Amino acid sequence: MREANTEETLEQIARERARAGAGELHVPGDVRHLDDGQLATLEAAFRAWAEKPRRADVRASRARIVLLFLVLRYTGARLGETLALSMDDFAPGCESVRLGTGDGAREVGLPGFVAEELSRARETGALSDAALAGAAPFAFDPGHLRRKFYERAEEAGLPRELCNPTVLRRSRGIELLRRNLPLQMVQRVLGHSTPSLAAGYVEIADEDVERAMRFALGRERRRTSARNAFFGRIASVTPGDIQAEVRLDCLGGHAITCMVTNGSVKRMGLVPEKFVTAEVKAPWVMLATGDDPPDTSAPNRLHGTVRRITQGRFTSEIMVRLADDTDVCAVITEDSRAALNLSTGDPAWVFFTENAVILNLG
């Protein structure tokens, strides 16, 4: 039976999620992909392999393959697109790379740690002019690369059929969907060109795709922060005498309401359909237990499950995971935590006022 290609697979998953609501994204069991843990294991196997040789030229060659793997892993690029790259296709700081040609050409962002590795390699390492002697950075034989994937799969204890550039590309698409990027944005990043989605593409500006990717990349390998961030599209802006009410439809299915001054609305260009980030500091987040909504006038009420409790002498940090896998952090007094009698796994509500929300265009 023919396995659906990446584009068909992502559309199927997105449709199923839409029918099921904004809960956890479900990937059918017959779809070949690597989960987060397997992706990390494969990456570690490539890095360990690159460190083994004593000869400098062999180490440099393997380092280039590791960098190629990272580009494939974090952009979802086709193997042919990556093999054809020149160093001119990377931004000055390697924070993004230009992929594809013609209608499939696009600029795709890279996580900060990957950008740093590429920059170091370009300046003094395996991608420097001296090391490459004018050659394209990733001009490897495709068959050779596939064998290296299979060898690393064996070393990592992963199924051979799951470790190849095609599965890596599909896995990146699924990963971005899990980070709540809309299907149209994911397909734009991957360079898909489904005719049925052409109208959807028109509704999303390039700057919105770039901003969404920056948000998703910022969450990758990010340590716990005192701020909670929700990315989404402005649904409405209702001006008042001094402040305006801004309602935001988040990618995870949540609705966030905030108040900003009329001057900020004008200065930031806040209009319906624009993508922004809503941030809430942890001390401004309040908690309630149970499944029933709390009796409060705060418009922002989100239900989830207590994931982690970190107790301190005077305050405690409570991490609540929402249905879309978003973590919301609240910092409350230790007395309040004791009064709530919270435990890991308990249902809980996080809520905050409209004045606790800070809008950011980044």
pLDDT digits (tens, 9 = 90+) for 238-250: 999 999 999 998 8
pLDDT at 19 over 90: no
Specify the pLDDT at position 205.
54
- Model pLDDT, residue 329: 92
Strand order of the β-sheet with 327-333 is 286-289, 347-352, 300-311, 315-322, 327-333
Please compute the mean of the pLDDT values over residues 163-187 and round it to a whole number: 84
- For 132, list phi and psi in degrees, rounded to 5: -90, -20
Categorise residue 310: left if φ over 0, alpha if ψ from -120 to 50, beta otherwise.
Answer: beta
- What was the pLDDT predicted at 199? 34
3-state DSSP assignment of residue 28 = coil
Dihedral angle sign, alpha carbons of residues 43, 47, 49, 50 = positive
Whole-number pLDDT of residue 176: 83
Distance between CA atoms of residues 149 and 329, nearest Å: 38
Mean pLDDT of the chain: 83
Using a pLDDT cut of 90, give the percent of the chain over it: 45
User: Six-digit token pair at 179?
Assistant: 């980070």
What's the CATH number for 227-360? Answer: 2.40.50.100
Mean pLDDT lowest among 70-79, 173-182, 221-230: 221-230
**Residue boundaries of the structural domains of the chain:** 6-219, 227-360
Work out the pLDDT band at 218, boundaries 50, 70, 90: low
The verdict on domain 6-219 having CATH code 1.10.443.10 is: yes
Residue 102 confidence class, pLDDT cut points 50, 70, 90:
confident
- Please give the Cα distance from 328 to 307 (Å, whole number): 10
pLDDT classification of 68: cutoffs 50, 70, 90: very high
Q: CA 279, CA 228: separation in Å to the nearest integer?
A: 5
The pLDDT of residue 72 is 95
On the question of pLDDT at 195 being above 60, the answer is no
Neighbour-count burial for 240-260, b at 16+ CB within 10 Å, e otherwise: eeebbebbbbbbbbbebbbbb
pLDDT, position 70? 95
CA distance 349 to 289: 6
pLDDT recorded at residue 202: 34
Over 50: is that where the pLDDT of 200 sits? Answer: no
